[in-house]
Amino acid sequence: MIIQFNKGLMIGLSALLCVSCVTPPISQPQPTTQPTITPDKDEKPQTRPLPTISVPTTPSTTEPKPPVLPTAPVPEPAYPSPVKPSVRPTEPVSPPEPISPPSIPETKPKPPPSPSPALRVPASLVSLRKTTAVPGGVAWVPLGIQSAIPPKIKYKQRRVLVLHHGQQWVALVGIPLSAKVGQHSIVNKETGKRYTFKVKAKKYKAQYIKLKNKRHVNPTSKDLKRIRRERKLMRSAFASPWRISSTSPLPLTQPVRGRLSSPFGLRRYFNGQPRNPHTGLDIAVPQGTPIAAAASGKVVKTGHYFYTGKTVMIDHGQKVVTLYGHLNTIAVSAGQRVKRGQKIGTVGKTGRATGPHLHWSVSLNQTLIDPKLIMQ
Ligand SMILES: [Zn+2]
């Protein structure tokens, strides 16, 4: 009896279903792939004028701090001297103006680079601000940071999506279905500052499913081996290296239009046996319906897996990864770049599926969350 039950639990850790629950620390090679991230020193760049040259005209007379004081004359910066530029490009000859200061764009203090528009919270998702943080949901955590460069925030050792809203950065934290109710925190890796947020309880509905294929309920030991292997592959895809895309990953576009047949979070019973909850959104549409990429990105994995059948996984940047399961055909391959809306395959019923539908999973910070929360 007990063995049977344990085995059941193991099965429950299906490749798809358990990614959010079983989460050994995943090494994240962030430093190598973050061209834009620099130490977070520029919290107040807007007001800073051009580097004022602090010429040590009055060196502190009292304290002899020998090595530190700059002795060499401060080199003139590369700003144009007040000397007029010799060439005035294509201006027609005009009466000599008395002294109109030459246009010297370089001397204007450069406004601080503002965050790329791709990094703003899209208008359709601002409502997340008022959404309760629940297991399987998303926490909106304002960071009070105004830098042009996104801060490096982690939740449970995993890098978190940050977007700009108003005058500050906001962390959008994916909360695992297994999260405990209560206080949680994220940390700014550069300053060590912690931010807390509260996770409240959410009771998801139960779903009872009858499966003809008994192996989909109680896989053989050979199946289990395969499931474990596939689970690892998928986990590594969800942990794709951090990168910031030039286009916003959010909001996500629903990949097919149709009836939402099974919501995210359902507590599932297959042939009466409890299994892990449903970590995606099912959309029931006829076999062969084209599936569109939920946002632009890079295909990180394709395969034919035990539970999700023919599957495509796309990395959209900032650890936003989507998974499309039970496909009939796959139209893309790993490494390929795709645009939002591009066809990536067709709907099918491969893997553990009772009929044609798309199983769509969405991961933020390597955590599967309810896709409805961040889709258009
Ligand atoms: Zn599903």
* CA of 309 relative to ligand 1 center, distance in Å: 11
* CA of 143 relative to ligand 1 center, distance in Å: 34
Alpha helices in 191-263 (DSSP H): 221-238
117-199 has CATH 3.30.1330.40 classification = no
* CA of 313 relative to ligand 1 center, distance in Å: 15
* CA of 213 relative to ligand 1 center, distance in Å: 16
For the chain, which residues make up each domain, given as ranges? 117-199, 204-374
* CA of 367 relative to ligand 1 center, distance in Å: 16
- How do residues 294-310 score in pLDDT, each as one tens digit? 999 999 999 999 999 99
* CA of 5 relative to ligand 1 center, distance in Å: 23
CA dist., res. 173 & res. 163, Å (int):
11
* CA of 348 relative to ligand 1 center, distance in Å: 12
Helix (H/G/I), strand (E/B), else coil: 274: strand
Q: What's the pLDDT at 116?
A: 83
* CA of 287 relative to ligand 1 center, distance in Å: 15
* CA of 281 relative to ligand 1 center, distance in Å: 6
* CA of 254 relative to ligand 1 center, distance in Å: 14
The per-residue b/e assignment along 156-184, b for 16 or more CB within 10 angstroms, e otherwise, is: bebbbbbbbbeeebbbbbbbbbebeeeeb
* CA of 188 relative to ligand 1 center, distance in Å: 34
- How do residues 57-102 score in pLDDT, each as one tens digit? 333 334 444 444 343 444 443 343 343 444 444 444 444 454 554 5
Q: 208 near 272, Cβ under 8 Å?
A: yes
* CA of 165 relative to ligand 1 center, distance in Å: 32
* CA of 89 relative to ligand 1 center, distance in Å: 64
| The pairing of beta strand 321-330 with beta strand 343-347 | antiparallel
* CA of 61 relative to ligand 1 center, distance in Å: 74
* CA of 319 relative to ligand 1 center, distance in Å: 21
- How do residues 236-245 score in pLDDT, each as one tens digit? 999 999 998 8
**What is the distance, to the nearest Å, from the Cα of residue 177 to the centroid of all Cα atoms in its chain?**
18
Q: 294 near 314, Cβ under 8 Å?
A: yes
CA dist., res. 164 & res. 176, Å (int):
23
* CA of 280 relative to ligand 1 center, distance in Å: 5
* CA of 150 relative to ligand 1 center, distance in Å: 33
* CA of 246 relative to ligand 1 center, distance in Å: 30
* CA of 282 relative to ligand 1 center, distance in Å: 5
CATH number of 204-374: 2.70.70.10
* CA of 259 relative to ligand 1 center, distance in Å: 13
Helix (H/G/I), strand (E/B), else coil: 259: strand
* CA of 163 relative to ligand 1 center, distance in Å: 28
* CA of 127 relative to ligand 1 center, distance in Å: 26
User: pLDDT per position in the chain (376 positions), as tens?
Assistant: 334 434 433 433 333 333 333 333 333 333 333 333 333 333 333 444 444 434 343 333 344 444 443 434 444 433 433 434 444 444 444 444 545 545 555 556 666 567 888 899 999 999 999 999 999 999 999 999 999 889 999 999 999 999 999 999 999 999 999 999 999 999 999 999 999 999 999 999 998 888 888 888 888 899 999 999 999 999 999 999 999 887 789 999 999 999 999 999 999 888 888 888 999 999 999 999 999 999 999 999 999 999 999 999 999 999 999 999 999 999 999 999 999 999 999 999 999 898 999 999 999 999 999 999 999 8
**Whether residue 249 has a cis bond before it, omega within 30° of 0:** no
* CA-based torsion, 337, 343, 345, 348: positive or negative: positive
CA dist., res. 206 & res. 49, Å (int):
59
* CA of 102 relative to ligand 1 center, distance in Å: 65
